[in-house]
A and B are shown apart, each in its own frame.
Chain A
Amino acid sequence: MSANALPVEPEAPVPAGAPVLEVRGVTKSFGALSVLRGIDLTLRQGEVLGLVGDNGAGKSTLVKILCGFHRPDGGELLLDGQPVSFSSVENARAYGIETVYQDLALIPQLPVYQNLFLGHEITRLGPIRFLNKGEMRKLARQYLDDINVNVPSMDAEAVDLSGGQRQAIAVARAVRAANKILLLDEPLSAMGARESRLIIDLVKDLASSGRISIIVIDHNYAHLFELCDRLNVMSGGRITLDQQVHETSIEELTELMVRPTVVSWRRCRMPVPEAAAR
């Protein structure tokens, strides 16, 4: 498993509230389309940070940069104060960053337990890396029972599961493997009430341990207000609001989303160019 390739000391004491991940002026374009126009964001030890924004605000692109899937065009990432650049998802994962993607990285033709261990297979016999199927099946069953995820069988293929079950497995996979930062891109989008509850509890549990820092994207404010310590609003490729959850309200956020320009430049942590010019 990836634990033996950790470039950072997992037990190194990081004081609660210290910045774990800092994003400074990160930009990203796809061809002529400029998606991120200078993102500044700080994730502190043990906190749950919510990212809100309209479709196309760049939330998923930001997450894909943080997890090593895309490389930023400009700006820098600091992990525990040290500049880092991730060469790949595997590389970011070696730093302890795990991700649940909006498009669910499950493989339809693989059984539940192999999906749960995808990228973290338990193997034996050295370089040939034979799968230890028995061990993986056993651990997968234990783990899914622990967190109350119901699936027909460990050998059921992902294609035969419901959307909610698939999502639960994708989240469970990342939660199981994360040891520093967990990125959740709309983890509740395909879920029923019971499954949403289950995932929210799972994430809250993980957060209360103080070990892991979490960034979560979601459109459902009720979920965000329950899960998060702090909220950042994204709009037009920038962070336009940064506030503790208890300092804001669902009404204020809704207002902000409906009329983003008026509220955002008055409350802006980082001046938008129009405001700066006055």
Chain B
Amino acid sequence: MITIALFAYFAIRAGSNFTDTLSLSSAVGFAGPYAGIAIGEVLLLVLAEIDLSAGQVFLFCPWMMYWMHQDGLPLVLAIAIALLSVCLVGAINGLITVRLNVPSFVTTLAMNFILYGVVLVASNDLQGSPIPLSGQTSFIAQFMGVWKWSEILWVIALTIILTVLLTRTRFGVRIVATGGNIVGAAEAGVPTRRVKVWCFIICSFVAGLVGIIDSIKYGTLDPGNFGVDYILYAIGACVIGGTALTGGRGTVVGAFIGAILIGVLQDGLTVIGVSTNQFFIYVGVVILIAMAVNVQFDRIIARSRSR
């Protein structure tokens, strides 16, 4: 709702400048990575866990694909190995968290630095280029990210899949149960540790997959430390989308919409000529307002339900 209101505001302020496809696609371009990370992250937030490494995973996965491809592996195999490697990262995050009882905040913070370091060392601090498929016009290349709408379509498809997973499967019930009352869930027979490890794996996989699409879209890889930026926007997107960090509550669609909102804000402010520096102030204010509205809204709903 807030996203639509904001969208309308920018549309009116900037007229056709904002709604024309160039600008829309750049809003979506900003939002794509945030959304790709946020929709997996939301599963962990519902579990009352967090994955701070997902932003770095988003960058690490295409690097992995790039290195494998440089070493002469066929592209399909390179992508498969890259995705497997980020699943492994997720599994390590999860296993350290549930087996060694390290809080996931710490586990994944450490993992974030490790992945960043691995990329710096292995890339020798140089840009990665050319990315396979990038700039080509074949259907496969278009599908895998070259076409400007393909990334957001991938994200939408993943949003639908994860929504179904969270709301329509037994696994989804187990996620909510584990996040809502972990002792009660365990007593009722939910394998809470296994559920957590799988969610870490899913979060990494989704971030890595969208990361590959994103790298093919832009054509170069930068060894810089954008992972932290990405993950903070993604968590912001989840919060805007109504996810409670205390666990048990949150929707994948909400996280997606939250990410789009941040993208629209980032792009819209540029189009109406506000300095990009002010963007951060707006993002902060929006996150605060969204959270406050959500909490109040929940309270009103709870009151009306209990009558």
Chain A: residues with CB nearer than 8 A to chain B?
Answer: 67, 69, 88-90, 93, 99, 101, 103-110, 114, 118-119, 121, 123, 128-131, 133, 152, 156-157, 159-160
Given contacts A131-B173, A152-B305, A160-B302, contact A119 B168 (CB under 8 A): no
Residue of A nearest to B170 (CB): A129
| Interface pair B169/A105, CB less than 8 Å apart | no
Given contacts A106-B181, A108-B180, contact A93 B189 (CB under 8 A): yes
| Interface pair B302/A159, CB less than 8 Å apart | yes
Residue of A nearest to B306 (CB): A160
| Interface pair A89/B188, CB less than 8 Å apart | yes
Q: Which of B170, B172, B184, B249 contacts A105 (CB 8 A)?
A: B184
Across-interface contacts of A159 in B (CB, < 8 A): 302
Q: Which of B168, B183, B188 contacts A118 (CB 8 A)?
A: B188
Residue of A nearest to B187 (CB): A105
Across-interface contacts of A110 in B (CB, < 8 A): 173, 176-177, 180
Across-interface contacts of A160 in B (CB, < 8 A): 302, 305-306
| Interface pair B189/A109, CB less than 8 Å apart | no
| Interface pair A101/B187, CB less than 8 Å apart | yes
Query: 13 additional contacts, CB 8 Å, given A69-B186, A104-B184, A129-B169?
Result: A105-B183, A106-B181, A108-B180, A109-B180, A114-B173, A118-B173, A118-B188, A128-B169, A130-B168, A152-B305, A152-B306, A160-B302, A160-B305
Given contacts A108-B248, A110-B173, contact A156 B305 (CB under 8 A): yes
Query: Please, how many angstroms separate the alpha-carbon atoms of A135 and B199 in the complex?
Result: 27
Task: Kindly provide the distance from the CB of B179 to the nearest chain A CB, expressed in whole angstroms.
Answer: 8
Query: Please, how many angstroms separate the alpha-carbon atoms of A158 and B189 in the complex?
Result: 18
Most buried by A among B179, B180, B191: B180
Task: Kindly provide the distance from the CB of B163 to the nearest chain A CB, expressed in whole angstroms.
Answer: 13
| Interface pair A106/B302, CB less than 8 Å apart | no
Residues 111-157 of B contacting A (Cβ, < 8 Å): none
B96 contacts A by Cβ under 8 Å: no
| Interface pair B181/A108, CB less than 8 Å apart | yes
Query: Please, how many angstroms separate the alpha-carbon atoms of A156 and B302 in the complex?
Result: 10
Across-interface contacts of B81 in A (CB, < 8 A): none
Task: Kindly provide the distance from the CB of B188 to the nearest chain A CB, expressed in whole angstroms.
Answer: 4
Across-interface contacts of B191 in A (CB, < 8 A): 88, 90
